[in-house]
Amino acid sequence: MTLDEIFADNGPFADAFPGYKLRQPQLEMAQAVADTIEERGILIAEAGTGTGKTFAYLVPALMSGDKVIVSTGTKTLQDQLFARDLPAVRDLLRVPVTVALLKGRSNYICHYHLARVETEGRFLRREDAVDLQKIKRYAKLSNSGDKAGCPGVDENSTVWAQVTSTRDNCLGQDCPNHSECFVLKARKEAQEADVVVVNHHLFFADVWLKDEGAGELLPACNTIIFDEAHQLPDVASLFFGESLASGQIVELARDARAEAIVVAKDFVALPSAAEELEKAVRDLRLVFKEQTRQPQHQLDKVEGFAAGLDSLLGKLEDLHELLAKQAERSESLQKCQERAFEQIQLIRNWQKTDRDDYVHWIDVSTHGFMLHATPLNIADLFNKQLKLHPRAWIFASATLAVNGRFEHFKHELGLWDAREACWDSPFDYKQQAVLYVPRDMPEPNTPGFTPKVIDKAWPLLKLTQGHAFLLFTSLRAMREAHDLVEARLKDEGLDWPLLLQGNGSRSELLDTFRRSPNAILVASQTFWEGIDVKGEQLSLVVIDKLPFASPDDPVLSARIDKVNASGRSAFMDLQLPHATITLKQGAGRLIRDETDNGILMIADNRLVDKQYGKLIWKSLPPMYRSRELDNVQRFFEVKRQHGRPQSEQTQDE
């Protein structure tokens, strides 16, 4: 069966989806993917919302007979692909394809750590003891051990960290539960499957492990498809770099102390050294008065940092020396010794100042810190992966181009020889949505900006009766806006649900939003992408500013300096494209179906007043556009009065 026959009005999709109609962009994308697979080429494909890009790449992938990896940006989409989309396409095509889902090891219950936690009985919360019993029952019945399937235990429960393994504390073949390991079972299934669904973090973890000669998680394959490919540069930077979290050091200290108490009771120096290391971690964190991200060269100004890091390294070296003397007493102590050695090397590497191709920086959070060494340019590193084996590479997303051009994405990942293709959304944006840029807004960085955003948004919130996302570029502005909206609702006696990012997990907030009439969700960039709310439940999206990344970010600052030093413009080649792609993601939350209608308000006059803003303007969906509130209100009233036509097509969007 050809692609034309599969996607035809009387083809298998038409049988499966009532009201199905051929989408020409979807067919064209499927053909481009098929050609790329056959030629072992590279394709960059932007497919606007509603194109049906998921089926457009899955159909030729399953028909190819190749070994295929599909990598996604989120575990949510990963689960959706595995549980819904792939089985649907496989059944429609009637192809004998085996499919596997593979996640990072922290998603699978570890029998060894589960038993150890139960024996020790040390819990951070009373609820953890209850959760542990639920996990224990689930582990006995589950085939996968995937924590996502465990009933009654929240994915954010603190006990998960204790009953799953990390690369650091996994005992490997020395584990007494090696034969029943859920991680090894999942990897074996992935090795044997025709199609493996992973996420970007796991894909790059595998690339990193192969570069280190430490093994291969993913099967050898002929085709790799990246969905949500716009996230790849950030994920690749993380994995091509080096990092060490304070939590890893604390975990090492606690594991060493716990194991020493069991198998080396006579060696009191070991638990003592572990406690001193843990204290050194706390002391180094206390050097910083607040959360911050700073490059290494600025830390000379932080009183006590250099001495604190030297002390931490010294305590780590002491622990390593003691572990070396006791390592033969158990596999766990030997593993702790190896972890201590790796952490020592990471800190020593981080202290170097002569690595011009890396930026060394620290990220200090509320409870800990992380040392990073991030490559300034990942293009050459990623391009090397493309050339290792002849295979097809497909990069797909709804947001990759800037004003129809892919130079920014190609330059970031070294995809200089890639084929490019772009398909616009089939949605009738001019009829479905209005883009409103209000007049008389102050400059974005002035103190009164956020109150003015709420002033301009309030008439729209009343018009749509809530049903809104208010998206902000900073947590400070998000919290200020939440308080302002809360006060307005109280003043007008409106009992509308007001949700704030951080008050619950992302999935919990979304579930509440979807089922709550008149709901308003106030959030930061966590909710700018990967969110799908169809229908009138989401009728208004407000974005406060053009989402330029802060130049104070150590990595961005170093990259800006490097690009400018080369004679190019970092603003035009780096900052502006990134802001454009991010804004396209945020704007894309509004129209998710051909029956949707709504209002997108962007409260930043730079979008129309600045020359560079007009470049961003051209990259946004072609909505009806206005700067007058009366026009916006009339547009929405007409749409509300005329109602929403029934969808003719229910295929995956």
> Does residue 193 share a domain with residue 80?
yes
Q: How much is the pLDDT for 351?
A: 95
In this structure, the answer to whether residues 552 and 571 fall within a common structural domain is yes
Residue 478 scores a pLDDT above 90? yes
Query: What is the predicted pLDDT for the residue at 218?
Result: 66
Q: What tens digit of pLDDT does each residue of 287-337 get?
A: 999 999 999 999 999 999 999 999 999 999 999 999 999 888 888 899 999
Exposed / middle / buried, residue 361 (Cβ in 10 Å: 0-12, 13-18, 19+):
buried
Same domain assignment for residues 94 and 192 = yes
Q: Note the pLDDT of residue 219.
A: 64
Instruction: Check: CB of residue 513 under 8 Å from CB of residue 507.
Output: no
Structure confidence by residue, pLDDT tens digits, 533-588: 999 999 999 999 999 998 889 999 999 999 999 999 999 999 999 999 999 999 99
Average pLDDT over residues 468-492: 97
Task: Say whether both 119 and 265 belong to one domain.
Answer: no
Q: Do 410 and 293 belong to one domain?
A: no
pLDDT at 529: 87
Segment 515-537 shows an average pLDDT of 91
Average pLDDT of the segment spanning 19-24? 87
pTM: 0.89
CATH of the domain at 633: 3.40.50.300
Task: Give the C-alpha separation, 494 to 521, whole Å.
Answer: 15
Q: Which domain holds residue 125?
A: 109-164
How much is the pLDDT for 4? 94
In this structure, the answer to whether residues 455 and 561 fall within a common structural domain is yes
- Decide which of 335, 358, 375 is a domain's last residue: 375
261 and 307 together in one domain: yes
My answer on whether 448 and 563 are in the same domain is: yes
Domain boundary among 375, 394, 413: 375
Residue 170 lies in a domain: no
pLDDT band at residue 210 using 50, 70 and 90 as cut-offs: low
Q: What is the pLDDT of residue 390?
A: 85
Q: Are residues 82 and 195 in the same domain?
A: yes
pLDDT bin (cut points 50, 70, 90) of residue 209 is low
* pLDDT beyond 90 at 28: yes
The number of folded domains in the chain is 4
Give helix 86-93 / helix 53-64 axis angle, nearest 10°. Answer: 50
β-partners of residue 372 are 243, 361
Residue 212 is predicted with a pLDDT of 44
Mean predicted lDDT score pLDDT of the chain:
91
Work out the average pLDDT over 498-526.
91
Residue 643 has pLDDT above 50, yes or no: yes
Mean pLDDT, residues 258-276: 87
User: Confidence class of residue 215 from pLDDT cuts 50, 70 and 90?
Assistant: very low
**Conformation bin of residue 358: beta by default, left when phi > 0, alpha when psi is -120 to 50:** beta
In a domain, 14, yes or no: no
Residue 652 banded pLDDT, cuts 50, 70, 90:
very low
524 and 590 share a domain?
A: yes
Whether residue 296 lies inside any domain: the answer is yes
In a domain, 174, yes or no: no
pLDDT greater than 70 at residue 27:
yes
Report for 7-21, 451-465, 527-541, 580-594: range of highest mean pLDDT: 451-465
Residue 501 to residue 44: CA distance in whole angstroms: 33
Return the pLDDT at 594.
Answer: 87
Kindly give the pairing relationship between strand 292-295 and strand 358-364.
Answer: antiparallel
Tokens of 549: 């990344």
* Percent of the residues in the chain that have a pLDDT greater than 70, as a whole number: 96
Domain annotation covers residue 204: yes
Q: Is the pLDDT of residue 221 over 50?
A: yes
Cβ atoms of 524 and 506 closer than 8 Å: no
Count of H-run helices and E-run strands, the chain: 28, 18
Please check whether residue 512 lies inside any domain of the structure.
yes
Tens-place pLDDT, residues 58-73: 999 999 999 999 999 8
> What is the rounded average pLDDT of the residues 632-639?
93
- Kindly state whether residue 653 falls inside one of the protein's structural domains: no
Extract long-range pairs of 528-534: CB within 8 Å, 24+ residues apart: 528/471, 528/582, 528/585, 528/586, 528/589, 529/73, 529/228, 529/585, 529/586, 529/588, 529/589, 530/73, 530/74, 530/76, 530/77, 530/228, 531/469, 531/589, 532/592, 533/589, 533/592, 534/592, 534/593, 534/596
Domain assignment of residue 29, yes or no? yes
What distances in angstroms separate CA 450 from CA 411, 438, 478, 526, 551, one per listed residue? 35, 13, 9, 19, 21
The reply to whether 437 and 329 lie within a common domain is: no
Position 644 pLDDT exceeds 60 = no
Q: What is the pLDDT of residue 124?
A: 67
What is the pLDDT, as a whole number, of residue 238? 87
The secondary element (H helix, E strand) that includes residue 87 is helix 86-93
Residue 169 has pLDDT above 50, yes or no: yes
User: Contact at 8 Å (CB) between 123 and 129?
Assistant: yes
Q: Are residues 261 and 314 in the same domain?
A: yes
